């Protein structure tokens, strides 16, 4: 079945460092891919998305490119801030929208 | 403001005492879902509903019930809670058929502890 695998955490970075959180997927067909962010004590918020191959989703300085050839959707940010400290979830939806799968989450801590 | 509202935010209860966690959305979404979040396991779907009176099991439905009598509300019922249901619960909603395009809107979560 469909699934999402993301890199284990936790990840600790210094402010202004470059961030990559890896995400790969397994799916039949052509799913949509998402990154959600969960700040401490809050629910999940949609960070960015891509609905077809080679699409790049971007928001708040974060980017991810839908790579069909490598079945990946890695999250990147060029310069992280303390306020980016959160848990990040990669997710996948099949084309019907009836199946939605989350990765296990990657905790990011950014230190000043 | 468009939102999904869950109540309560925190709940401590004893084994076997029936409880209900409420979920309400004001976006006229057809699709609603319950997830539980546990360390190392990510989010797992408990139940979902595609519309009023239409519900179906997710990946971990055992020990839970749901109902969808109105479009806006989707309560989660634990008839006889057990300690292994201690978890962080999230309600989420979406316009039906647009999850593929836009994903979910999540509530703020309910942290449940069963002792």
CB neighbours of A65 closer than 8 A, spacing ≥ 6? Answer: A50, A54, A55, A56, A57, A73, A74
The pLDDT of residue B97 is 62
Mean pLDDT of A54-65: 97
| pLDDT of residue B1 exceeding 90 | no
The pLDDT of residue B86 is 98
Mean pLDDT of A79-99: 88
How far, in Å, CA of B70 to CA of B76, rounded? 14
* CB distance A77 to A63 below 8 Å: yes
A103 vs B: CB within 8 A = yes
Greatest mean pLDDT among A67-76, A100-109, B31-40: A67-76
The pLDDT of residue B99 is 66
Give pLDDT tens digits for B21-57. Answer: 999 999 999 999 999 999 888 889 999 998 899 999 9
Question: Considering chain A, what is the average pLDDT of its residues?
Answer: 92
Question: Which residues sit opposite B13 in a β-bridge?
Answer: B114
| pLDDT of residue A74 exceeding 80 | yes
Query: Which residues from chain A sit within 8 angstroms of residue B58, using beta carbons?
Result: none
Query: Which residues from chain A sit within 8 angstroms of residue B33, using beta carbons?
Result: 100
- Minimum-distance CB partner of A100 among B50, B96, B99: B99
How far, in Å, CA of A76 to CA of A93, rounded? 21
The pLDDT of residue B98 is 63
Q: Find the radius of gyration of the CA atoms of chain B.
A: 13
């Amino acid at each position: 079945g469909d699934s999402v695998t993301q890199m284990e955490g936790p990840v600790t970075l210094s402010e202004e460092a470059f961030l990559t959180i890896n995400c790969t997927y397994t799916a039949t067909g052509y799913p949509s891919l998402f990154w959600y962010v969960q700040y401490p004590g809050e629910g999940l918020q949609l960070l960015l998305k891509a609905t077809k191959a080679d699409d790049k989703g971007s928001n708040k300085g974060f980017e991810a490119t839908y790579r069909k050839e490598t079945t990946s959707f890695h999250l990147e940010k060029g310069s992280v801030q303390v306020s980016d400290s959160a848990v990040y979830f990669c997710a996948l939806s099949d084309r019907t929208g009836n199946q939605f799968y989350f990765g296990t989450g990657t905790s990011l801590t950014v230190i000043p | 403001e468009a939102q999904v509202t869950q109540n309560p935010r925190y709940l401590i209860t004893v084994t076997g005492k029936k409880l209900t966690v409420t979920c309400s959305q004001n976006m006229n979404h057809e699709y609603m879902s319950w997830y539980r979040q546990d360390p190392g396991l990510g989010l797992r779907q408990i139940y979902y509903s595609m519309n009023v009176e239409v519900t179906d099991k997710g990946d971990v439905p055992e020990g839970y019930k749901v109902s969808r009598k109105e479009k806006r509300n989707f309560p989660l019922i634990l008839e006889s809670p057990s300690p292994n249901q201690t978890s962080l619960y999230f309600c989420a909603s979406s316009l039906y058929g647009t999850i593929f395009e836009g994903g979910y809107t999540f509530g703020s979560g309910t942290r449940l502890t069963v002792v």
